[in-house]
């Protein structure tokens, strides 16, 4: 059987890290007897350069035809890049928001795992990092402040900007159901993060999550305010299993969680709709300052490929094999610069991809 994967390499380090993820997927195909067919597409700054817009209708249509989308980082330097002199709807990130909406990708899953081999790279105190942690942040992706009505206009002679935060109960219910379903396959705990002491949207969020929780009596539900959660992530991250939250809170908390794992270069993500279709991308940015230098960490992109195998293609053993290969390379002491520590061997982006691909095997 041939699986069709749309590939958007993106900008900055995107082409480098996605190339390594494809290298690992090709190794999976070889070892397990699959065929992966890639269709390479443009989105972001490279699409602006080629077509004058960050996302074309043709690219959306091609993604919809695929079994899944593998994507790199998009965008550039917001200070110096000409892309950011364009109107907001023509900037690189506008393409990403449009793609998520067009594909119905409402659930963003970001696993944050501190590998034992990377505890020295963790920014937390040693007594905290020694405990390790394995949490999954589930972020609602197509509602909230990023998609609400917005405008900037003079009010009584003063320029005033307005962004609207809006959620309805159906949007909240479907992400809550997804969170509880995932929790049932993990440690059966959900932490719902909101700002219910201030926001009406958060009070509705909390009410709907509690309604959904009644259908999952095996799962423990706790509520937490977003500011307190930000503190707890650096104080005691091992307490969290599945964290579910709205769009902007999830955007901020997942980057914080990524850094306590050692590097953004270690954090994959999956964005899913109501079917098995998903878009898979590393959580870090395009890092234009290091693009083309073969020093980027491809592990987040490679682990995103593993999530693609697991969630969209139902290839559990293959996903396990990729994750085991990553753990083995780390155990063998290989590091890119962002996770380098004393006594390890420093390698570049391409070599890291090759090392991981070589360790993909059945029965991992």
Marked catalytic residue, from 216, 251, 334, 338:
251
**Average pLDDT value for the chain:** 94
Same-domain status, 290 and 227? no
Which residue in 348, 340, 247 sits closest to 295, CA to CA? 348
Confidence of residue 328 (pLDDT cuts 50, 70, 90): very high
Predicted confidence at residue 125, as pLDDT, reads 87
Mean of the pLDDT values across residues 118-140? 88
Same-domain status, 84 and 134? no
Predicted confidence at residue 134, as pLDDT, reads 93
Same-domain status, 35 and 150? no
Active site residue 255: yes
Torsion of CA 343, 348, 261, 254, to 10 degrees: 170
Distance in angstroms (rounded) separating the CA atoms of residues 307 and 315:
9
- Determine, yes or no, domain membership for 22: yes
Active site residue 167: no
pLDDT tens string 261-299: 877 788 899 999 988 899 999 988 899 999 999 999 999
Supply the range of the domain harboring residue 43: 1-111+264-364
Q: Judge whether residue 9 has pLDDT over 80.
A: yes
Same-domain status, 272 and 346? yes
- Determine, yes or no, domain membership for 199: yes
Same-domain status, 243 and 127? yes
- Determine, yes or no, domain membership for 117: no
Same-domain status, 233 and 161? yes
Q: Judge whether residue 37 has pLDDT over 80.
A: yes
Active site residue 146: yes
Confidence of residue 244 (pLDDT cuts 50, 70, 90): very high
| pTM over the 0.75 mark | yes
Q: Judge whether residue 69 has pLDDT over 80.
A: yes
Q: Judge whether residue 97 has pLDDT over 70.
A: yes
- Determine, yes or no, domain membership for 57: yes
Which residue in 98, 110, 86 sits closest to 8, CA to CA? 98
Same-domain status, 25 and 72? yes
- Determine, yes or no, domain membership for 118: no
Mean of the pLDDT values across residues 18-24? 98
Where is the domain boundary, 236, 260, 284? 260
- In angstroms, the Cα distances linking 29 to 232, 241, 256 are 41, 32, 34
Marked catalytic residue, from 227, 293, 361, 362:
227
Confidence of residue 22 (pLDDT cuts 50, 70, 90): very high
Q: Judge whether residue 76 has pLDDT over 70.
A: yes
Mean of the pLDDT values across residues 84-94? 93
What percent of the chain has a predicted confidence (pLDDT) above 70? Answer: 100
Same-domain status, 140 and 256? yes
Confidence of residue 169 (pLDDT cuts 50, 70, 90): very high
Predicted confidence at residue 170, as pLDDT, reads 97
Strands lying side by side in the sheet with 107-113: 35-41, 2-8, 68-71, 278-282, 268-272, 107-113, 134-140, 242-245, 189-194, 220-225
Tally the domains of the chain: 2
Which residue in 25, 22, 109, 6 sits closest to 322, CA to CA? 25
- Determine, yes or no, domain membership for 116: no
Marked catalytic residue, from 9, 115, 146, 194:
146
Predicted confidence at residue 364, as pLDDT, reads 64
Any idea which residue has 């964290």 for tokens?
243
Strand intervals (E) in 203-267: 220-225, 242-245
Same-domain status, 99 and 127? no
Decide: helix, strand or coil at residue 107.
strand
Same-domain status, 4 and 86? yes
Mean of the pLDDT values across residues 104-133? 87
Q: Judge whether residue 363 has pLDDT over 80.
A: no
Q: Judge whether residue 3 has pLDDT over 70.
A: yes
Give yes or no for a contact between 248 and 144, defined as CB atoms under 8 angstroms apart: yes
Where is the domain boundary, 229, 260, 291? 260
Q: Which residues contact 270 (CB under 8 A, 6 or more apart)?
A: 108, 109, 278, 279, 280, 304, 307, 308, 311
Active site residue 195: yes
Where is the domain boundary, 241, 260, 279? 260
- Determine, yes or no, domain membership for 288: yes
Confidence of residue 127 (pLDDT cuts 50, 70, 90): confident
pLDDT tens string 213-242: 999 999 999 999 999 999 999 999 999 999
Same-domain status, 156 and 171? yes
Strand intervals (E) in the chain: 2-8, 35-41, 68-71, 107-113, 134-140, 150-155, 158-163, 189-194, 220-225, 242-245, 268-272, 278-282, 334-335, 345-346
Distance in angstroms (rounded) separating the CA atoms of residues 156 and 159:
8
Marked catalytic residue, from 67, 255, 294, 320:
255
Marked catalytic residue, from 11, 178, 194, 195:
195
Same-domain status, 316 and 216? no
Mean of the pLDDT values across residues 308-329? 96
Give me the CATH number covering residue 50: 3.40.718.10
Predicted confidence at residue 235, as pLDDT, reads 93
Distance in angstroms (rounded) separating the CA atoms of residues 302 and 304:
5
Angle at 165 between CA 274 and CA 237, to 5 degrees: 70
- Determine, yes or no, domain membership for 52: yes
Name the β-bridge partners of 283. Answer: none
């Amino acid at each position: 059987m041939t699986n069709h994967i749309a590939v958007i390499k993106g900008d900055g380090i995107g082409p480098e890290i996605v190339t390594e993820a494809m290298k690992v997927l090709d190794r999976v195909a070889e070892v397990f007897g699959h065929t992966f067919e890639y269709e390479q597409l443009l989105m972001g700054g490279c699409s602006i350069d080629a077509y004058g817009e960050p996302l074309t209708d043709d690219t959306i249509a091609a993604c919809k035809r695929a079994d899944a989308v593998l994507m790199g980082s998009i965008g550039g330097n917001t200070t110096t890049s000409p892309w950011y002199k364009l109107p907001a709807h023509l900037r690189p990130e506008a393409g990403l928001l449009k793609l998520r909406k067009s594909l119905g990708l409402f659930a963003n899953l970001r696993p944050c795992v501190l590998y034992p081999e990377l505890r020295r790279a963790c920014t937390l105190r040693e007594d905290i990092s020694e405990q390790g942690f394995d949490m999954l942040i589930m972020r609602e992706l197509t509602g909230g402040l990023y998609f609400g009505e917005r405008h900037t206009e003079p009010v009584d002679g003063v320029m005033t900007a307005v962004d609207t935060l809006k959620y309805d109960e159906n949007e909240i219910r479907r992400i809550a159901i997804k969170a509880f379903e995932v929790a049932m396959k993990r440690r059966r705990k959900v932490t719902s993060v909101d700002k219910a002491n201030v926001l009406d949207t958060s009070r509705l969020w909390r009410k709907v999550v509690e309604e959904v929780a009644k259908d999952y009596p095996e799962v423990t539900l706790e509520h937490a305010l977003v500011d307190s959660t930000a503190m707890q992530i650096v104080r005691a991250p091992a307490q969290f299993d599945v964290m579910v939250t709205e769009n902007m809170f999830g955007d901020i908390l997942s980057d914080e969680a990524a850094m306590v794992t050692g590097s953004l270069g270690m954090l994959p993500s999956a964005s899913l709709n109501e079917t098995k279709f998903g878009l898979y991308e590393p959580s870090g940015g395009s890092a234009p300052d290091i693009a083309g230098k073969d020093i980027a960490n491809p592990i987040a992109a490679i682990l995103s490929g593993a999530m693609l195998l697991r969630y969209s293609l139902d290839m559990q053993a293959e996903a396990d094999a990729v994750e085991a290969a990553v753990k083995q390379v780390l155990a063998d002491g290989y590091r890119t610069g962002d996770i380098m520590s004393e006594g390890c061997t420093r390698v570049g982006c391409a070599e890291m991809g090759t090392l991981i691909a070589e360790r993909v095997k059945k029965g991992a």
